[in-house]
Amino acid sequence: MSKYLANRLLQTIPTVFLITVVVFLMLHLSPGDPVLVFIGDKQSTPEQREKIREDMGLNRPLHVQYLTYMGNALRGDLGRSLQTNVPVMSQIVNRLPWTIELSFAALFIASVIGISVGIIAALYHNTIIDTLAMAFALVGISMPVYWSSLLLILFFAVRLRVLPAIGQGGVERLILPATALALVSAGSLARMVRSSMLEVLNQDFVLTARSKGITERIVVIRHVLRNALIPVVTILGLILGYTLSGAVITETIFARLGIGQKYVEAVVQKDFTVVQGMTLFIAMMYVLVNIAVDVIYAFIDPRIRYD
Amino acid sequence: MSKRLLVRFVSLFVVTTMLLASLAGAVVAQDEVVLTFGISRRVDTLDNTATAFSSVEVIVGHVFDTLVKQNPLGSFHPALATSWSVNDDATEYVFELRDDVTFHDGTPLNAEAVKYTFDRIVHPDTKSQMGFSFIGPYEESEVIDDHTIAVRFRAPNAAFLDGLSHPQLGPVSPTAVEALGADWGFSGIVGAGPFMFESYTPDTEVVLVKNPDYNWGDEAVFGITGPTALDRLIFKILTDPGTRLAALESGEVDMIDNLPGLDVARLQEDPSFAVSIYDQAGHGYSLMFNHQKSPTDELAVRKAIAMSVDLEIMQDIVYDGLGYKPCSALTASMVGWTDVFCHVNPYDPEAAGALLDEAGWVMNDETGIRERDGVPLVVRHFGADRPLGNATAQFLREDLGNIGIDFELNISDFSAYITNVVAGEHNTQQWWDTQTDPDGVFRTLFHSSNAGGGSNRNNYISETMDNMIDAAVGISDQAARIAAYAEIQQILADEVVMMYLNDPVVTYAAIPAVQNVTILGGGFVPDFYSATMDG
């Protein structure tokens, strides 16, 4: 296992390197000029624009820019934002913990709701309970995050005043955004768990287990669920990857610090240094989450071994 | 010591500490007067001299005091400067400074510090944006004695007092700027205002605390001179309109700006909130015509466009019924405003159509678009993808389509948009600005020095206009200066250099406890120095 892990970790290096090259090229080849974005609608002379371009280091050849950037990045210096002069590292360090907090809270809520609804729906297959559970899942998937976010704010923060609407810090500021973010994933999880359970429930070894006289509870938990969870873990990994990088709307509506919102803003503003720094981090997180998912497979399914 | 005894001792210690801490916390919490303001616009930097955003003024104006204060527009009061004199052609100003002022870090505020601030603004490394505009054709500062400074300009600058009243020209502590280096404006700022910097979390909040030594407030403007009644002033950056409103309604902020237009009426009827509305100064929402590109290089086309947009219906549909019908590049609250544009170019689509017929643009009944020599009348509009701008552009396309103009929409993200319009690819683009001096408005929009990719994206190049703008800013006599601006507005109306869509209002909503907020900057700048939190 440890050899496998070391191998996988080594493989991340070329992956992350390739991602930085692609993102760097995409940024520089897409239309739009960071100098003009910086000046915006303010008065400026061509000399000032040239001076700013020089200060941003954009007058040098592309490969020099990339190599300088990577050289500094390897020494831990991700530079400063072209648009606001804020150090990129501090932007990431200030934001990442909040994004991680939100992601894991959303993942937790989504798993609790999604897996339990899915199990119940499968056990009561083709009954009114199944129909209701799947209707719930459908609503969860279909409801846009910005809408459910606003509804949650309106009801719990404005009307009842029991939970705060904005900001981060403390469980009370986590509940609403995490729930809003979890609803979509909970819906798709519930459907996934249900269909995967139904598939396993129909297999011969379940019949064998039942015929041995094991109680239904143990059949479900030990035999069915454990087998049904393997595809679910894949989905959980995807959800985590999505929430870690894609909680843009939730972060904006709840005015939470986070990297998703900043990332999109930086792309729009052509803030090259911020986009590159955050890309490095997000790429590494994706890769690590994927490794974690593979490792978890082995724990759930004894048939999977990494030797 | 036995193990049990140790456990007891430790638990006793922990419990006592927690009790004391909670007591202390309660005492502090009760005494603190905190005002939290939900601000709608983003912050690029807290460096007052460098910022490109007029909204940053709202925050940094509390940290950086200015040499003069302006309220109402055109009326200047002594602040850090006790008196001043200006020569006849407005190229040299001499200021007497207060001798009892220190920056928050203890550095004395003297003529040397003011000179340092101004020199820093024009230094290319500062990359100053608004401050650079406000300081105009700055040449040099001369320290005459410790508290007297002369400021000289390469060209007349009657707008300098207006510039000085903005915190973008507020003196910075030279010691702090040198000490903080690149982190100035990010991890710290040090001025001589009624509030001191405590913390800044980018995209989240700015926390300021009371400056207890502040004793140089301007009574004529604020009604007080000593330290502020607030212990803490917090700006929460809330760019989403729905979130901002929810934060107010859930009690997490005490006041917000920029209400969603559709919620204004509802909040006005709700007794738990006080809504206030101010006319925005400077320049409103408008449409620029590129004079260097066909067909907007033709007067007939520009005039026909200006006369065929129903601005009253536009106000209801696009601007949620808020604002006023515009009649000038200046908003009505500005010194020098005239409504000549509305008289020269009234709403009259039929007359507009006749103008185009006369110019040879004849309607092709098959396409519904006018043509001349086989060339269809296409006006290429460029816009950044933003809700208000998109709604405006769609409305224009509708009204202009009615008289046979194909108003072609090119909407993209901001960086692509700005690249295109700086290159002059556009026939039209929208504009919005807030300013407090007429020179700023006219120079930004119509002076040829700002054409060709600068802020004059009308690309309007006229020696006559340049001379008139340069002459007007050198007139120290207010009445004569107003007359000069009336002439400028006559030409702008006759030539339909650009057209105006809406004179906006600035809206605020607060809980009733928030009292005595002073609104400066012609409506755009709430100042909390005099504010109180009753009850």
Q: Classify the complex by whether its ipTM is higher than 0.90, answering yes or no.
A: no
Contacts of A44 (CB under 8 A, 6+ apart): B454, B455
* Beta bridge partner(s), residue B34: B232
- Asked if the C-beta of B237 comes within 8 angstroms of chain A's C-beta atoms, the answer is yes
Total residue length of chain B? 535
Distinct helix (H) and strand (E) counts, chain A = 14, 0
What tokens does B214 get? 């502040």
Range of weakest confidence among A14-23, B91-100, B484-493: A14-23
What is the model's pLDDT at position B465?
Answer: 97
- Asked if the C-beta of A44 comes within 8 angstroms of chain B's C-beta atoms, the answer is yes
Cβ distance B152 to B91 under 8 Å?
A: yes
Instruction: Round to whole Å and give the CA distance between B206 and B263.
Output: 27
What tokens does A176 get? 């609403």
pLDDT band at residue B13, thresholds of 50, 70 and 90?
very low
Q: DSSP letters along B297-366, please?
A: TSHHHHHHHHHS--HHHHHHHHSTT-SB---SSS-TTSTT---HHHHHS-S-HHHHHHHHHHTT-EEETT
Give me the percent of chain B exceeding a pLDDT of 70. Answer: 94
Q: DSSP letters along A242-263, please?
A: HHHHH-HHHHHHTT---HHHHH
Q: Which residues of chain A neighbour B444 with C-beta distances below 8 Å?
A: 43
Instruction: Round to whole Å and give the CA distance between A239 and A259.
Output: 16
pLDDT band at residue B19, thresholds of 50, 70 and 90?
very low
Question: Is B44–A37 a contact, with Cβ atoms under 8 angstroms apart?
Answer: no
What tokens does B242 get? 């729905």
First-last CA distance in chain B: 53
Question: Is A85–B249 a contact, with Cβ atoms under 8 angstroms apart?
Answer: no
Instruction: Round to whole Å and give the CA distance between A36 and B361.
Output: 36
pLDDT band at residue B525, thresholds of 50, 70 and 90?
very high
What is the model's pLDDT at position A246?
Answer: 58
Amino acid in the structure at residue A117: V
Instruction: Round to whole Å and give the CA distance between A97 and A244.
Output: 10
Alpha helices in chain A (DSSP H): 2-29, 34-39, 46-55, 62-74, 88-123, 128-142, 145-152, 172-201, 204-211, 216-218, 226-246, 248-253, 259-268, 272-300
Instruction: Round to whole Å and give the CA distance between A177 and A164.
Output: 10
Closest CA to B172 of B42, B43, B67: B67
- Asked if the C-beta of A167 comes within 8 angstroms of chain B's C-beta atoms, the answer is yes
**What's the pLDDT tens digit per position in B182-239?**
899 999 999 999 999 999 988 889 999 999 999 999 999 999 999 999 999 999 999 8
Question: Is A41–B433 a contact, with Cβ atoms under 8 angstroms apart?
Answer: yes
Q: Higher-confidence residue: A50 or B354?
A: B354
- Asked if the C-beta of B242 comes within 8 angstroms of chain A's C-beta atoms, the answer is yes
Q: Which residues of chain B neighbour A150 with C-beta distances below 8 Å?
A: 242, 246
Radius of gyration of chain B (CA): 26
Q: Which residues of chain A neighbour B433 with C-beta distances below 8 Å?
A: 41
Span B477-482, mean pLDDT? 90
- Asked if the C-beta of A70 comes within 8 angstroms of chain B's C-beta atoms, the answer is no
Closest CA to B116 of B169, B163, B160, B79: B169
Question: Is A268–B415 a contact, with Cβ atoms under 8 angstroms apart?
Answer: yes
Instruction: Round to whole Å and give the CA distance between B444 and B449.
Output: 9
In chain A, the residue whose alpha carbon lies closest to the alpha carbon of B54 is: A42
Question: Is A255–B453 a contact, with Cβ atoms under 8 angstroms apart?
Answer: no
- Asked if the C-beta of A170 comes within 8 angstroms of chain B's C-beta atoms, the answer is no
Of A268-282, B50-64, B138-152, where does the model show the most confidence? B138-152
Q: Which residues in chain A show pLDDT less than 50?
A: none
Instruction: Round to whole Å and give the CA distance between B432 and B409.
Output: 18
What is the model's pLDDT at position A294?
Answer: 83
Interface test with B, best of A27, A36, A268 (most B CBs within 10 A): A36
Q: Which residues of chain A neighbour B282 with C-beta distances below 8 Å?
A: none
Cis ω on the peptide bond leading into residue A231 (within 30° of 0)?
Answer: no
Is the pTM here over 0.90, yes or no?
Answer: no
- Asked if the C-beta of B343 comes within 8 angstroms of chain A's C-beta atoms, the answer is no
**What's the pLDDT tens digit per position in B387-399?**
899 999 999 999 9
Inform me whether the pLDDT recorded for B459 exceeds 60.
Answer: yes
Span B510-521, mean pLDDT? 94
What is the model's pLDDT at position A262?
Answer: 85
**What's the pLDDT tens digit per position in A159-188?**
998 999 888 888 999 999 999 999 988 999
- Asked if the C-beta of B423 comes within 8 angstroms of chain A's C-beta atoms, the answer is no
Burial B85-112 (b: 16+ CB within 10 A, else e): ebeeebbbbbbbbbeebebbeebbbbbb
DSSP state of A219: I
- Asked if the C-beta of B204 comes within 8 angstroms of chain A's C-beta atoms, the answer is yes
Over chain B, what is the mean pLDDT? 91
The closest CB to that of A165, out of B124, B252, B450, belongs to B252
Question: Is B182–A255 a contact, with Cβ atoms under 8 angstroms apart?
Answer: no
What is the model's pLDDT at position B26?
Answer: 44
Cβ distance A273 to A82 under 8 Å?
A: yes
pLDDT band at residue B24, thresholds of 50, 70 and 90?
very low
3-class SS of residue B284: strand
Range of weakest confidence among A168-172, B295-299, B430-434, B524-528: A168-172
- Asked if the C-beta of B256 comes within 8 angstroms of chain A's C-beta atoms, the answer is no
Interface test with B, best of A33, A37, A43, A254 (most B CBs within 10 A): A43
* Beta bridge partner(s), residue B289: B428
Cis ω on the peptide bond leading into residue A87 (within 30° of 0)?
Answer: no
3-class SS of residue B475: coil
Question: Is A253–B240 a contact, with Cβ atoms under 8 angstroms apart?
Answer: yes
pLDDT band at residue B174, thresholds of 50, 70 and 90?
very high
Interface test with B, best of A30, A37, A42, A48 (most B CBs within 10 A): A42
In chain B, the residue whose alpha carbon lies closest to the alpha carbon of A27 is: B415
What tokens does A289 get? 């989450």
Question: Is B413–A268 a contact, with Cβ atoms under 8 angstroms apart?
Answer: yes
Q: Which residues of chain B neighbour A253 with C-beta distances below 8 Å?
A: 240, 242-243
Question: Is B419–A31 a contact, with Cβ atoms under 8 angstroms apart?
Answer: yes
Phi, psi of B62 (to 5 degrees): -85, -20
The closest CB to that of A37, out of B124, B182, B418, belongs to B418
Instruction: Round to whole Å and give the CA distance between B49 and B61.
Output: 11
What is the model's pLDDT at position B301?
Answer: 97
